[in-house]
Amino acid sequence: MRADLSLLRANIPSEVDQSIEASKQRCKSFAQFVREAWHVLEPETPYVHGWHIEAICRHLEAITHGQIQHFLANVPPGSMKSLLVSVMWPAWEWGPAERPHLSYIGTAYRIDLAERDNRRMRRLVMSIWYQARWPMKITGGDSRFENDRGGWREGIAFTSLTGGRANRLLIDDPHSVDTAESDQERANTIRTFRESAPDRLNNQKTDSIVIIMQRLHQGDVSGVVEELQLDYTRLVIPMEFESDSRCETKIGWRDPRTYDGELMCPERWDKKEIADLKKVKGSYAYNGQYQQRPAARQGGIFQRKWWKIIKSPPLGTRWVRAWDIAATEELVSGAGAYTVGVLMGRQPDGRFVIGDVVRKRVDGFGLRKLIKDTAKSDGKLVEIDLPQDPGATGKIVAKDLVLMLAGYVVHATTESRFTDGKLQRANKLQRAEPVAVQVEAGNVDVVEGPWNETFFAETDVFPSSKYKDQVDAMSRGFSKLIGGAVFATPEILFTEDLGHIPETFNRFAALAIDKAYVTGVWFAIDRANEVFHVYDTHVALRSSLAMLADAIWRRGKWIPILIDPTDEGRSEEDGLEIAERLASFQLQINQGSIDYDAGLEVMSQKLETGRLKVNAYQQHWLGEYRRMGRDDKGDPQFTGNNLMRATMLGLVHGAEISISEARANSDDRGYDRDEARAMYDGGSTGY
């Protein structure tokens, strides 16, 4: 027996060596190297292969073997472009391709992205898996590292591309989505590409520039390559196949798809997900970033068929009158641009509405009169939002108007936003894009009125329209109504038609209690995936706890209930009294308390990662989600948003108390399967 074990041990190294050698042989194919190296970089994520990955790999191999020199790939976001070009290909050339002497300059529009890919490549080539196959000594840090064979890699921001030279210049998304619309920012990037990039190669005849990017504008780097007919092999892969623009390249590659609309990788993006993307992105962004054919902004950002004309808005609409004021010199003369005030509202269901437009050429005195008269006509329940131009004069004018409107709710803000960590003044087109997405999705109504035709005449051709005042005022009103967007995740990414809840799902409910109401949110948890499903809600008067208890019973008396005794600033004694009264109805009451800023962070993370889903029929929950905003200091407004507070409480503490229907049936909690089934069949569960 011992002899057999010794023989087995003696054979193990040989078998390991054979396995490593076989792996090295397979990895002579770059696509196979990607498969086998994947686990080093993404150990928790299963690898999903696709023909688009094979296509990129083939063209990068062609550079390595001298078949092509310069390469441009336009592919959708999420296509593994950074991992393939900026991380795995250099590692493959150093190892399986036996070119460890090669040097690389890796760039992106931000330095942190370039250094991120530096770190990922360094982690790969220093891994046990890689070193067992292609051993080499690696030294250096985040910005630059090198091997002991003469090869090195450096990561820098694209617009800082000066100085050093290398065998490979890797340009990974040179434009930012946020700044590609800026003529100045785009011009800076193009200048770097035309004037600096060609000089960063050691040998102009044999070394290579590789660009991989999504299309963001007709005049982006890809557009310049196309316009100047530069000698690049160009690979274009749209998310949805378009037969009239099938891509074929000089190495003999041809897009393998056969019918229009065929998806690039249905294993990763199915038709529903693509439809959702189109709704979120809007046609302009989707066609550029995903279809690789950016269009000129020559109208079409607002199409008349997307607006819905209504007779009057519903009660409960929150209104803001947003103003776009003509420039100072135009106010003096009374000529030129118009001063415009757009009355924009958010309805109780979360939809938006344009209620009225005031549009007039006025001088300085006429401006004050127009704004004051309009405010008086609107009433004090309508908020007023005024632009504050940069500089001292702008502040003085805004302060004067705010003082004139004493007694009204008035905001004066600059038209700036954070872009790449800097506060920058956004142009009219950038400011219009968020509301344009909502218009295209059919979420903006227009109240019928005599001003409609003038309004549509501008929106129909924006941004090519001579005047852009109405669109700019509408954009300002929209920004105020969304209140800084407490939640950034679009509803279509987390709403669902839950249907039947499996018995294996754990359940619980969380209550939020204010001075007047008790609000409940019911959850089901898929413990296998740690996904929380909001399937029901209920609101009751605080004075009617017996009716609330009945509603809880009808949804399943075995479901544990969670409350925060100190919610909404109540004394703990008051909260405990409510808990005891609810417990007297034979309900399973549990206590938990949270900081709602922390709860907001948890909820946002779960929404972003797909671990919070909401029944699409829960319109009250969705309406509150849409309406929740920030105060003038930018802080989230938790007061009055009871459904959101209950949801946050449940996400933080609910898993601790939750129990499955199957478990409840077998313990001593008093659950009666026949009684529950009768209730469910009666449709009282809310789902």
Burial of 379 from C-beta contacts in 10 A (0-12 / 13-18 / 19+): exposed
pLDDT of amino acid 506:
96
Assess whether pLDDT exceeds 70 at residue 669: no
pLDDT of amino acid 488:
67
pLDDT tens column, 519-569? 999 999 998 889 999 999 999 888 888 888 898 999 998 999 999 988 776
pLDDT of amino acid 18:
77
Sort residue 594 into left (φ over 0), alpha (ψ -120 to 50) or beta: beta
Assess whether pLDDT exceeds 80 at residue 291: yes
The answer to whether the beta carbons of residues 85 and 172 sit under 8 Å apart is yes
pLDDT of amino acid 515:
80
pLDDT of amino acid 8:
36
User: Class assignment of domain 304-483?
Assistant: alpha beta
pLDDT, mean of residues 249-272: 92
Assess whether pLDDT exceeds 50 at residue 451: yes
Q: What separation, in Å, do the N-terminal and C-terminal C-alpha atoms of the chain show?
A: 64
Same fold, 20-231 and 491-680: no
pLDDT tens column, 12-27? 455 667 789 999 999 9
pLDDT tens column, 69-127? 999 999 999 899 999 999 999 999 999 999 999 999 999 999 999 999 999 999 999 99
pLDDT of amino acid 664:
79
Assess whether pLDDT exceeds 80 at residue 465: no
Assess whether pLDDT exceeds 80 at residue 628: no
The answer to whether the beta carbons of residues 498 and 533 sit under 8 Å apart is yes
* Predicted confidence band of residue 668 (pLDDT cuts 50, 70, 90): very low
Higher pLDDT residue, 216 or 329? Answer: 216
pLDDT tens column, 217-255? 888 999 999 888 899 999 999 999 987 789 999 999 999
- Of 54-68, 210-224, 294-308, give the range with the top mean pLDDT: 54-68
pLDDT of amino acid 293:
82
Report the CATH number of the 20-231 domain. 3.40.50
pLDDT of amino acid 217:
85
Higher pLDDT residue, 324 or 687? Answer: 324
Q: What is the largest CA-CA distance in the chain?
A: 105
Residue 621 to residues 42, 285, 553: CA-CA distances in angstroms? 36, 29, 21
For residues 151 and 153, give the distance between their C-alpha atoms in angstroms, rounded to a whole number.
Answer: 7
363: nearest Cα among 325, 307, 414:
325
pLDDT of amino acid 685:
34
pLDDT, mean of residues 434-448: 93
pLDDT tens column, 404-429? 998 887 877 776 544 444 445 567 88
Higher pLDDT residue, 585 or 640? Answer: 585
User: Class assignment of domain 491-680?
Assistant: alpha beta
Mean pLDDT of the chain: 85
Structural domain spans, the chain: 20-231, 304-483, 491-680
